Chain A
Amino acid sequence: MLRKFTEKNNAIMSDTNYPSDKKRDFQIIPRLEVRQNSPEWLRFLIYTISLLVGCVCAVLVMYWVGINPADLIQEISILLFSGTRTIGAILAQTAPLMIAGLATAVAFRANFWNVGLEGQMIVGTIFATFIAIHDVGPDSVRLVLMAVAAMLGGIIWIAPAGFLKLKLGINEVITTLLLNYIAFNLLLHLLFGAWKDPVSGFPHSAQFDLVERLPKLGWENLTYALPLAVFLVLLVWWILSFSRVGYLLSFVSSNPTMAKAVGAPVLGLSITAIIMSGAIGGLTGFAIASGLEFRMTRDFFSGFLFSGVLIAFLGRNHPIGVGIVALFMAILVLLGQSLQVFYQVPFALIQLIQAIFIICVAASEFFLTYRMHWRN
Chain B
Amino acid sequence: MLEINSVSKSFGGFQALDRTDFDVKIGEVHALLGENGAGKSTLMNVACGLYAPDSGTLKVNNRLTTFNGPQDAAAEGIGMVHQHFKLVASFSVLENIMLFFNPDSSYGKSKEIVASKAKTLAKDLGFFIDLESRAGSLSIADQQKVEILKVLIAGAQIIILDEPTAVLSENEGANLMRLIRKLATAGTAIILVTHKIREALDHCDRITVMRSGKKVHEVLPNNVDGASLTKLIVGENIISTTQYSSNKSDIPLIQFKGITVLDERGRKSLSRASFQVCSGEIYGIAGVGGNGQNELAAAIMGLKKPIEGNIEITGIGDVTLDTAIKRRRDGISSIPVDRYLHGLAGKQTVLENYSIAAAMRGELGSWLQFNKNLAKSKVKEAIIKFDVQGVNNINQRASLLSGGNAQKLVIAREFSGKPKIILAHSPSRGLDVRAGAAVHDRLRAARNDGAAVILISEDLDEILLMSDRIGVLNRGQISAEFDAPATRSDIGQAMVSHA
Find out whether the CB atom of B369 lies under 8 angstroms from the CB atom of A18: no
Find out whether the CB atom of A243 lies under 8 angstroms from the CB atom of B50: no
Q: Which of A21, A243, A244, A261 contacts B301 (CB 8 A)?
A: A261
In the complex, 19 of the A-B residue pairs with CB atoms within 8 angstroms, ordered by the A residue number, are A2-B182, A6-B186, A6-B187, A9-B157, A12-B75, A13-B75, A29-B68, A37-B396, A243-B367, A244-B365, A247-B370, A254-B345, A254-B348, A255-B346, A255-B347, A261-B301, A262-B356, A263-B327, A265-B325
Q: Which of B65, B188, B355 contacts A19 (CB 8 A)?
A: B65
Find out whether the CB atom of B52 lies under 8 angstroms from the CB atom of A258: no
Find out whether the CB atom of A244 lies under 8 angstroms from the CB atom of B369: yes
Considering only CB atoms, which chain A residue lies closest to B183 in the complex? A2
Find out whether the CB atom of A263 lies under 8 angstroms from the CB atom of B63: no
Chain B contacts to A: CB under 8 angstroms? 11-12, 50-52, 63-69, 75-77, 120, 152-153, 155-157, 182-183, 186-188, 301-303, 323-325, 327-328, 334, 336, 341-348, 352, 355-357, 359-360, 364-370, 372, 396-397, 400
Considering only CB atoms, which chain A residue lies closest to B103 in the complex? A8
Interface string of A250-265 (1 = CB under 8 A from B): 1100110111111111
Chain A residues within an 8 Å CB radius of B323? 263
Find out whether the CB atom of B352 lies under 8 angstroms from the CB atom of A247: yes
Find out whether the CB atom of A254 lies under 8 angstroms from the CB atom of B347: yes
A242/B77 contact (C-beta < 8 A), A2-B183, A261-B336 known: no
Find out whether the CB atom of B370 lies under 8 angstroms from the CB atom of A244: yes
Find out whether the CB atom of B11 lies under 8 angstroms from the CB atom of A245: no
Chain B residues within an 8 Å CB radius of A244? 359, 364-370
Q: What total count of A-B pairs have CB within 8 Å? A: 128
CB of A3 within 8 Å of the partner chain: yes
A9/B352 contact (C-beta < 8 A), A257-B342, A261-B342 known: no
Q: Which of B69, B120, B369 contacts A243 (CB 8 A)?
A: B369
In the complex, what's the smallest C-beta–C-beta distance from A261 to chain B, in angstroms? 4
The distance in angstroms between the C-alpha atoms of A312 and B188, with both chains bound, is 53
In the complex, what's the smallest C-beta–C-beta distance from A146 to chain B, in angstroms? 27
Find out whether the CB atom of B356 lies under 8 angstroms from the CB atom of A9: no
Chain A contacts to B: CB under 8 angstroms? 1-3, 5-6, 8-9, 12-13, 16, 18-19, 21, 27, 29, 31-34, 36-37, 239, 242-248, 250-251, 254-255, 257-265, 373, 376
Find out whether the CB atom of A255 lies under 8 angstroms from the CB atom of B345: yes
From A5, A6, A259, residue with most partner B Cβ within 10 Å: A5
Chain B residues within an 8 Å CB radius of A242? 369-370, 372
Q: Which of B188, B324, B347, B369 contacts A260 (CB 8 A)?
A: B324
Q: Which of A8, A37, A264, A373 contacts B360 (CB 8 A)?
A: A264
Considering only CB atoms, which chain A residue lies closest to B323 in the complex? A263
Find out whether the CB atom of B157 lies under 8 angstroms from the CB atom of A245: no
The distance in angstroms between the C-alpha atoms of A139 and B366, with both chains bound, is 37
Q: Which of B327, B328, B344, B360 contacts A258 (CB 8 A)?
A: B344
Given contacts A13-B76, A257-B342, A258-B342, 4 further A-B pairs with CB under 8 A are A6-B155, A243-B368, A258-B345, A261-B303
The distance in angstroms between the C-alpha atoms of A9 and B368, with both chains bound, is 61
A245/B367 contact (C-beta < 8 A), A37-B400, A263-B328 known: yes
In the complex, what's the smallest C-beta–C-beta distance from A182 to chain B, in angstroms? 30
The distance in angstroms between the C-alpha atoms of A263 and B419, with both chains bound, is 14
In the complex, what's the smallest C-beta–C-beta distance from A244 to chain B, in angstroms? 5
Chain B residues within an 8 Å CB radius of A34? 50
In the complex, what's the smallest C-beta–C-beta distance from B9 to chain A, in angstroms? 10
Find out whether the CB atom of A33 lies under 8 angstroms from the CB atom of B347: no
In the complex, what's the smallest C-beta–C-beta distance from B102 to chain A, in angstroms? 12
Find out whether the CB atom of B186 lies under 8 angstroms from the CB atom of A3: yes
Considering only CB atoms, which chain B residue lies closest to A266 in the complex? B324
In the complex, what's the smallest C-beta–C-beta distance from A112 to chain B, in angstroms? 18
Find out whether the CB atom of A261 lies under 8 angstroms from the CB atom of B324: yes
In the complex, what's the smallest C-beta–C-beta distance from A8 to chain B, in angstroms? 6
Chain B residues within an 8 Å CB radius of A12? 75
In the complex, what's the smallest C-beta–C-beta distance from B50 to chain A, in angstroms? 7
The distance in angstroms between the C-alpha atoms of A29 and B71, with both chains bound, is 14
Chain B residues within an 8 Å CB radius of A19? 65-66
Find out whether the CB atom of A1 lies under 8 angstroms from the CB atom of B120: yes
Chain B residues within an 8 Å CB radius of A239? 368
In the complex, what's the smallest C-beta–C-beta distance from B72 to chain A, in angstroms? 9
In the complex, what's the smallest C-beta–C-beta distance from B119 to chain A, in angstroms? 12
Chain A residues within an 8 Å CB radius of B327? 263
Considering only CB atoms, which chain B residue lies closest to A239 in the complex? B368
Chain A residues within an 8 Å CB radius of B359? 244, 247-248
The distance in angstroms between the C-alpha atoms of A243 and B375, with both chains bound, is 13
Considering only CB atoms, which chain A residue lies closest to B349 in the complex? A250
Chain A residues within an 8 Å CB radius of B157? 6, 9
In the complex, what's the smallest C-beta–C-beta distance from B413 to chain A, in angstroms? 8
Considering only CB atoms, which chain A residue lies closest to B375 in the complex? A247
Chain B residues within an 8 Å CB radius of A248? 356, 359-360
In the complex, what's the smallest C-beta–C-beta distance from B425 to chain A, in angstroms? 11
The distance in angstroms between the C-alpha atoms of A261 and B356, with both chains bound, is 11
A262/B396 contact (C-beta < 8 A), A16-B75, A257-B342, A376-B66 known: no
Q: Which of B12, B50, B345 contacts A251 (CB 8 A)?
A: B345
Q: Which of A2, A6, A243, A263 contacts B324 (CB 8 A)?
A: A263
The distance in angstroms between the C-alpha atoms of A36 and B156, with both chains bound, is 27
Chain B residues within an 8 Å CB radius of A31? 52, 67-69
Chain A residues within an 8 Å CB radius of B370? 242-244, 246-247
In the complex, what's the smallest C-beta–C-beta distance from A18 to chain B, in angstroms? 6
A18/B52 contact (C-beta < 8 A), A248-B356, A262-B357 known: no
Find out whether the CB atom of B65 lies under 8 angstroms from the CB atom of A18: yes
Chain A residues within an 8 Å CB radius of B360? 248, 262-264
The distance in angstroms between the C-alpha atoms of A66 and B301, with both chains bound, is 66
In the complex, what's the smallest C-beta–C-beta distance from A35 to chain B, in angstroms? 9
Chain B residues within an 8 Å CB radius of A5? 152-153, 155
In the complex, what's the smallest C-beta–C-beta distance from B110 to chain A, in angstroms? 14
Find out whether the CB atom of B75 lies under 8 angstroms from the CB atom of A257: no
From B152, B343, B370, residue with most partner A Cβ within 10 Å: B370
A8/B352 contact (C-beta < 8 A), A16-B75, A263-B360 known: no
Find out whether the CB atom of A36 lies under 8 angstroms from the CB atom of B400: yes
The distance in angstroms between the C-alpha atoms of A5 and B12, with both chains bound, is 40
Considering only CB atoms, which chain B residue lies closest to A38 in the complex? B397
The distance in angstroms between the C-alpha atoms of A186 and B65, with both chains bound, is 67
Q: Which of A243, A259, A263, A373 contacts B52 (CB 8 A)?
A: A373
Shortest 3 CB-CB distances between A and B: which pairs? A5-B155, A255-B345, A263-B325
A37/B397 contact (C-beta < 8 A), A244-B369, A247-B352, A260-B324 known: yes
Find out whether the CB atom of A18 lies under 8 angstroms from the CB atom of B63: yes
In the complex, what's the smallest C-beta–C-beta distance from A42 to chain B, in angstroms? 11
